[in-house]
Homo-oligomer: A and B are copies of this chain.
Amino acid sequence: MSEKALKYLKEHQEELISKLNEFLSIPSISTDSKYKDDVNKACDFLVTYLNDIRFEKVEKQQTNGHPIVYAEYNGAGSTAPTVLFYGHYDVQPVDPIDKWDSDPFKPEIRDGRLYARGSSDDKGQVFMHLAVFEAYMNTEGKLPINVKVCIEGEEEIGSENLYEILQSKKEQFQADFAVISDSGMVAKNQPTILYGLKGFTGIEITVTGPNHDLHSGMYGGAVRNPIMALSHILSTMKNEEEVITIDGFYDDVEPLTDEERKLIAEVPSEDFVKATGIPETVSEKGYSPKEHTMGRPTLELNGIYGGYQGEGTKTIIPSSATAKITCRLVPGQDPENIQHLLEQHVHRVAPKGVVVEVKKEKLSAKAYKVEPTHPLIKKAAESYTKAFGKETVYIRMGGSIPVVEWIEAIYQIPIVLLGFGTPEDRLHSPNESFPMDSLEKGMETLVYYWDNVKSKE
């Protein structure tokens, strides 16, 4: 019975793509307050779309930040399960803008890829779900399953208000299982089931010395240099063997089992050097890059700044310097505890002569793992394989999706991560893109999946 929907998607591909482009053209950058109106515009686009395809109770739920789109479809009847579909309509900033080959908000198809900020993370994948719902509604006149839609606008800034909503509106959002498409496949056209995600936490360190920039000739020799102090602090957090040297950081880490190391070894590996242009890979002593990215915790410096950054030289001792740090956590590690360990460490190694402040990131999430053998996972794998004509692989990933941990914690329902991105998508970077293959076969996969899970058992 899914043939009609598939046919519809093929026949209406052009309209659908131009509709997707309309969505991608809205610069819904949630982290930067000056895009507030655009974030709101992207939200309205979804509200209109859901109304057009006859979803019920379509709501724009206001929060302290950006609104959440809610909607329901109950036409599948009580024998069919209810799925909670989660996605996000906000996107990452686009800087450095000069590194983009085309305008991040003027979608462009080049060599079988759709280039635009959000094409892969996550507007493109959100759109695929709505398009599949549209296909079913405009052909069968109904969906095989009942649906609750939850699309937020704050994922890229830590889903600050979602947790509270999910908790306070437990009745409204309750479902039999959840489906999220905000992840990727290990390689283009390689069906991939994500059964594990990393947790996440972070801090920001600011080192302040003098209350104004000083002439390095007049004060050099009497004043601690804040950038040097910060460098000393940062250099004590990870050694050259990529081992994190924060006391207690690894204490609660659930070790990689031999089975998992075997599973990871079997995953078709991305060529990290080719994909990133680095001279060579580095990874935690005793672990391969694949093992480290998928199954071991990480600590990364996301940004640093202080003093003069302009043309030429400025012979100053800067007043302050700041570094942004985030960690990806594995099962066993507690984000709050890790933040605490980081803070303790920083203050312990901070040199005298400067004031060191640690700001704890609000965003935090535990790591997530589901059994690869769960029936809903198996059915997803079948649908994938049917659409892409290839066996599905099972992986854990270094990414973090806080909402996954929250849905699990609040609703205790299985969560299926159906991701269609590829390693070449350049998420969070200039020239983000999404393969047209993923768009097409991804929607096919969803059509099969809904058909596949339509009866509760």
Tell me the A residues contacting B by CB distance below 8 Å. Answer: 31-33, 92-93, 95, 99, 157-158, 184, 198, 200, 202, 209-225, 227-228, 230-232, 234-235, 237-238, 240, 242, 272, 276-284, 287, 289-294, 296, 298, 300-318, 321, 323-324, 326, 328, 351-355, 361, 363, 397-400, 423, 426-431
Contact yes or no, A323 B227, CB < 8 A: yes
16 A-B pairs with CB atoms under 8 Å apart are: A31-B312, A32-B312, A99-B212, A210-B276, A216-B298, A216-B398, A218-B427, A219-B398, A222-B272, A222-B290, A231-B234, A231-B235, A300-B317, A302-B307, A303-B318, A315-B400
B157, B240, B292: which contacts A222 (Cβ < 8 A)?
Answer: B292
Contacts of A230 in B (CB 8 A): 231, 304
A296 nearest in chain B by CB position: B221
B33, B218, B310, B431: which contacts A93 (Cβ < 8 A)?
Answer: B310
Contact yes or no, A221 B398, CB < 8 A: yes
Contacts of A277 in B (CB 8 A): 210-212
A269 nearest in chain B by CB position: B222
- Given A31-B311, A222-B282, output 7 extra A-B contacts at Cβ < 8 Å: A218-B397, A222-B289, A222-B292, A230-B304, A282-B351, A303-B309, A305-B306
The answer for the CA separation of A184 and B430 in the assembled complex, in Å, is: 49
The answer for the CA separation of A328 and B355 in the assembled complex, in Å, is: 25
Q: A31-B310, A305-B304 are in contact. Are A281 and B157 (CB under 8 A)?
A: no
Q: A211-B276, A296-B221 are in contact. Are A235 and B232 (CB under 8 A)?
A: yes
Contacts of A301 in B (CB 8 A): 225, 227-228, 231, 306-307, 318
Q: A218-B427, A278-B353 are in contact. Are A313 and B308 (CB under 8 A)?
A: no
Residue from A198, A296, A301 whose CB has the most chain B CB atoms within 10 Å: A301
Q: A278-B354, A429-B214 are in contact. Are A302 and B283 (CB under 8 A)?
A: no
A308 nearest in chain B by CB position: B303
The answer for the CA separation of A200 and B291 in the assembled complex, in Å, is: 48
The answer for the CA separation of A108 and B306 in the assembled complex, in Å, is: 29
Contact yes or no, B423 A212, CB < 8 A: no
Contact yes or no, B355 A92, CB < 8 A: no
